Amino acid sequence: MNSVESLRLDFNTQIGELGKVNNDKISNNLIFVGSGDSYVAGLIAEYLTNHNCKCYSPSDLFNSELAKDSTYCFVSVTGKTKANISVAKRISQAGSKSVAITFDENSKLAQVCDKIIHPKLKKAHTPTAGFGSFVANVVSCLQVAGITVPKKFDIWYQNAVKISQNVLESLALPEDTVFVLGNNILYPLALYTSFQLAEFFGTRAVAHKLEEFCHSPIFGLKSPDSVWILGQNESQVNQRLNILGLRLSYFELYNSDILRQLFESIFFVQNLLLFLAQRHGLKELQYVTMKDVLKASSDIIYYDRT
């Protein structure tokens, strides 16, 4: 099975698995720590708790003062990211509490942390962390932060597939850089989308908050660039930018139910990427074929020089 097919299978089967993710609130003072998709999962929890919880990349905490009254919650599918392990060791030495949300209960990160939370979802055999493991981490982060997530994943999934089908005909792969924009809870999703575009298609993708994009990055746009807006009743912004003649795609994702909006938006992005891959005959994720770059990336992320 090629890498795109494995992700398609993962996308479809995750719906029957996500209902198994069940965790209790663990602290009123949570600090999420993660990289890549895991950082996005923690950042979503920060937004949905009105920033009562915080989320940082591990590199933000290398030399910072640690909060004694907070619980540091590390999000990592593999539990092997050296930056997470390094910060977790600092936290342990400082006497602060630490939790690992990870699929590998025997990983170095799990061994360093005080408590282990396994999302329970069966990890798919995919070259990336997988679609299902990302959503399971999002659910886990929300639950440990005290947010109850209704088990409506099948409904949200079906709605998202319809939304993605409706926009596909008017959407083309970006020719150059794509700027992915979203405000509030859709900013973390814009980050997630930018990561996936790079891995799927080798596309240069940059995420911005919609408002911040208009302060400065908009002046760096070139004619081959594209702009994707993950919108929440922001069609007026779309109309104003359209006047500039940009390669602009606007996706209306607003829903008054914030959890429905969140999960439908996640499933929408995942299915849209699969649709685009199918349309362009893509069999393998582009990053898998970039052997030298992949090795350099893995060496930096996982290799411990100590």
**Residue 91 is part of which domain span?**
3-149
Q: 25-60, pLDDT tens digit by residue?
A: 999 999 999 999 999 999 999 999 999 999 999 999
Q: Does the pLDDT of residue 126 top 80, yes or no?
A: no
List b or e across 44-73, with b for residues whose CB sees 16 or more CB atoms inside 10 angstroms: bbbbbbeeebbbbbbeebeeeeeeeebbbb
Q: Does the pLDDT of residue 128 top 70, yes or no?
A: no
* Other Cβ atoms within 10 Å of 91 Cβ, number: 24
Which of 121, 149, 177 is the last residue before a domain boundary? 149
Element (H, E) at 162: helix 153-168
The per-residue pLDDT for 245 is 85
The per-residue pLDDT for 143 is 98
The per-residue pLDDT for 171 is 86
Residues 6+ apart with CB under 8 A from 168: 272, 275, 276, 279
Matching residue, tokens 């990983």: 107
Q: Does the pLDDT of residue 211 top 60, yes or no?
A: yes
The per-residue pLDDT for 283 is 92
- Indicate whether 226 and 278 sit together in one domain: yes
User: Token pair of 215, please?
Assistant: 């302060």
- Indicate whether 140 and 163 sit together in one domain: no
Give domain status of residue 41, yes or no. yes
Residues 6+ apart with CB under 8 A from 18: 121, 132, 135, 136, 139, 151, 153
Amino acid at residue number 132: G
pTM of the full predicted structure? 0.94
Give domain status of residue 305, yes or no. no
Three-class SS of residue 245?
coil
Q: 135-178, pLDDT tens digit by residue?
A: 999 999 999 999 999 999 999 999 999 999 999 887 888 878 99
What is the Cα–Cα distance from 290 to 208, expressed in whole angstroms?
26
Give domain status of residue 296, yes or no. no
Three-class SS of residue 45?
helix
Give domain status of residue 93, yes or no. yes
Q: CATH number of the domain that 261 lies in? A: 3.40.50.10490
- Indicate whether 44 and 144 sit together in one domain: yes
The per-residue pLDDT for 173 is 82
Counting the structural domains of the chain, the total is 2
Which of 92, 126, 149 is the last residue before a domain boundary? 149
Name the average pLDDT for the chain: 93
In contact, 228 and 181? CB cutoff 8 Å: yes
What is the Cα–Cα distance from 86 to 47, expressed in whole angstroms?
26
Average pLDDT over residues 81-95: 94
Q: 248-306, pLDDT tens digit by residue?
A: 999 999 999 999 999 999 999 999 999 999 998 999 998 988 999 989 999 999 876 54
The per-residue pLDDT for 152 is 97
β-strands 247-252, 30-33 pairing: unpaired
Largest CA distance in the chain: 56
Which of 109, 124, 149 is the last residue before a domain boundary? 149
What is the Cα–Cα distance from 241 to 221, expressed in whole angstroms?
12
- What percent of the chain has a predicted confidence (pLDDT) above 90? 79
Give domain status of residue 37, yes or no. yes
Amino acid at residue number 67: A
The count of residues in the chain is 306
Q: Does the pLDDT of residue 212 top 70, yes or no?
A: yes
In contact, 139 and 77? CB cutoff 8 Å: no
- Indicate whether 171 and 132 sit together in one domain: no
Q: Estimate the crossing angle of helix 131-144 against helix 3-17, to 10 degrees.
A: 40
The per-residue pLDDT for 50 is 97
